[in-house]
Amino acid sequence: MAFSDLRAFIDSTARIGELKLIDGADWNLEIGCLTELMAEQEGPLLLFDSVPGYPKGFRIAANALATARRFALALGLPTDAPKLEILRAWRNKIRDLKPFAPVEVATGPVLENILEGDRIDLGIFPTPKWHELDGGRYIGTGDMVVVKDPDSGWINVGTYRSCIVGKDRLTLWIIEQKHGKQIARKYWHAGKPCPVAIVLGCEPATWMAAPSAAKAGVSEYEYAGALRSAPLEVIRAPYTGLPVPATSEIVVEGEMPPPEEESHSEGPFGEWPGYYTHSGEECVVRVKRILHRNDPILLGNPPLLPITERYGIPLFAARIWDHLEQSGVSDVQGVWCHCHTLMVVVSLKQRFAGQALQALTAVAGMMTGASMYRYYIAVDDDIDPVDLKQVIWAMCTRVDPAESVQVLKSWTSDLDPRLAPEKRERGDFTMGRMLIDACKPFHWRDKFAVANKFSADKREEIWEKWAPKLGLK
Ligand SMILES: Cc1cc2nc3c(=O)[nH]c(=O)nc-3n(C[C@H](O)[C@H](O)[C@H](O)COP(=O)(O)O)c2cc1C
């Protein structure tokens, strides 16, 4: 079932006991710090209200999808299944997705307040300073940035970080190869500003479509409809005419002028690998309209150390699993990513010699947006790839570092903190990747020492008998 808006989703997180209302936290680091602390505990969705200096009702929602249960809730998947089962359900869902074109409606609650001219002031929202050393107050962390290709009319939506640099000015950091930047460049080459609408809070399944890597020419709005199993209702934003979800909380409309005409220093910002990275001159948005609902909710999704999970489960693991199967790797029992995508674990039922290496090389060759990866580990099917302690046990006992480890030289992202400054300067974005075969050696696996652990059946039998007596069930 698709939620009509962010509010309906937040209400249902209360129903599964995963909502915390917080009154009075300060925008200056308190909201950011609480967001970090609670994400580390896989805590509830946080709804901040009564931010000092701002009207009651101007709220911020953080950690919206940060547990597997809330992710499952947002996507209509079973909420009480183990994490690997939720990943399987997500895989099945995205395998059969049917795109739905958005439908245009005449009006929507986002038009309840339209600010223009002198009334434009981005400072009315209690935008947090999320991390201690951020270069400003980032209003766009869970945003959808909407632009239109001037040649084909294709509507592209992406998530790019956005900082307030004036009452009517924002920066956007859009990496060069992203469709959003390629489209902006078309306007700039024609000497024109690029019209843009930035959605700063909407229903989470819709938001999840924005950072998905849809092909050129395909609108992420269609993917949003597919995830929702229902078309997305959009209105035409009054200044740009760009389509935006009718139930958005806040929309900022404006124009991105060519950077030669106007740009602004941007960053640093605490980014997903867990470090402050990237600062420099970036493009700006000249704000022409602000639309917002009464009592708007800004969706905050700041990057945190990748020991927390932004979507409750590592979505990329589903793509890896598909890729392995398409590459002919059989008997994959599970795939998981730890530390965002920096460490990939593949659990296998070994059938032939070299199968683990086949799986590892197939995954290491995958091309994706994030580009920054380090460790690829194959484990046997008795190891739960979700459980890092089990993975480490396998690495410590089934790996001979002299034999089971290989290092490839590959590419990395400019967010990689390990990229030496001199390599960065000469544009050499290469880095090693380690393939670790932590499976029992295939040719003598039958002689490998037996694990000192009760069988699943025995554990269940004894637990069923004893848990009630011990008051544990
Ligand atoms: C939370 C989040 C924040 C992101 N921030 C940025 C960003 O600041 N700049 C950027 O270029 N990409 C960022 N991305 C990645 C893009 O949103 C993603 O690659 C998207 O597919 C780009 O769309 P496009 O190629 O259609 O422009 C972010 C992704 C997520 C999930």
CA of 167 to the centre of ligand 1 (A): 24
Task: For residue 124, give the 3-state DSSP assignment.
Answer: helix
Q: Which two tokens stand for residue 96?
A: 């059969």
Pocket test for ligand 1, best of 146, 147, 148, 159 (most atoms within 8 A of CB): 159
Backbone phi and psi for residue 282, each to the nearest 5 degrees, phi listed first: -135, 170
Pocket of ligand 1 (CB under 6 A): 156, 158-161, 173-175, 178-180, 211-213, 301, 369
Query: What one-letter code names the amino acid at 390?
Result: Q
Which of the four pLDDT bands, split at 50, 70 and 90, describes residue 402? very high
Ligand 1 centroid distance, CA of 159 (Å): 4
Mean of the pLDDT values across residues 231-243?
97
Question: 3-state class of 247 per DSSP?
Answer: coil
Closest-CA residue, ligand 1 atom 23, reads: 158
Q: Record the tokens describing residue 271, joined without a space.
A: 């980014």
d(CA 245, CA 95): 25
- Can you give the length of the chain in residues? 473
Phi/psi for 155 (5° steps) reads -95, 115
Cα–Cα distances (Å) from 316 to 148, 233, 271, 320, 343, in that order, read: 27, 28, 18, 6, 11
- pLDDT over threshold 90, residue 239: yes
Partner residues linked to 198 by β-bridges: 145, 252
Give residue 414's pLDDT band: very low, low, confident or very high (50, 70, 90): confident
Kindly report, residue by residue over 61-92, the tens digit of the pLDDT. 999 999 999 999 999 999 999 999 999 999 99
Residue 89 confidence (pLDDT): 96
Helices (H), 304-414: 316-326, 355-364, 388-398
- For ligand 1, the distance from its centroid to the CA atom of residue 175, given in whole angstroms, is 8
- Give the pLDDT score at 163: 98
| Structure confidence at residue 98 (pLDDT) | 87
Residue 52: Cβ-neighbour burial (10 angstroms; 0-12, 13-18, 19+): exposed
pLDDT tens digits for 138-177? 999 999 999 999 999 999 999 999 999 999 999 999 999 8
Q: How far is CA 323 from CA 89, 363, 432, in A?
A: 17, 7, 21
Judged against a pLDDT cut of 90, whether residue 215 lies above it is answered with no
Give the pLDDT mean for 188-194. 97
pLDDT at 112 over 70: yes
Is the separation of the CB atoms in 290 and 199 below 8 Å?
A: no
Give the whole-number percent of the chain exceeding pLDDT 70. Answer: 99
pLDDT in tens, 313-326: 999 999 999 999 99
Burial class (CB in 10 A: 0-12, 13-18, 19+), 273: buried
Give the chain's end-to-end CA distance (angstroms, integer): 32
Say how far apart CA 13 and CA 8 lie, in whole Å: 9
At 28, phi and psi to the nearest 5? -85, 90
Buried b (16+ CB within 10 A) or exposed e, 342-361: bbbbbbbebeeeebbebbbb
For residue 1, what pLDDT band results from cuts at 50, 70 and 90?
Answer: low
Calpha distance 275→188 (Å, rounded)? 32
Write the residue with the smallest CA distance to atom 31 of ligand 1: 211
What pLDDT is attached to residue 105? 98
What are 360-379's pLDDT values in tens digits? Answer: 999 999 877 667 899 999 99
Q: Is 470 a residue whose pLDDT tops 70?
A: yes
- Specify the pTM: 0.95
pLDDT, tens digit (0-9, with 9 covering 90-100), for 113-141: 999 999 999 999 999 999 999 999 999 99
CA atoms within 13 A on the CB side of 419: 25
pLDDT > 90 in the chain, percent:
93
Mean pLDDT across the chain: 96
Residue 369, pLDDT score: 67
pLDDT at 449 over 70: yes
State the greatest distance between any 2 C-alpha atoms of the chain, in Å, as a whole number. 78
Give yes or no for a cis peptide into 268 (omega within 30° of 0).
Answer: yes
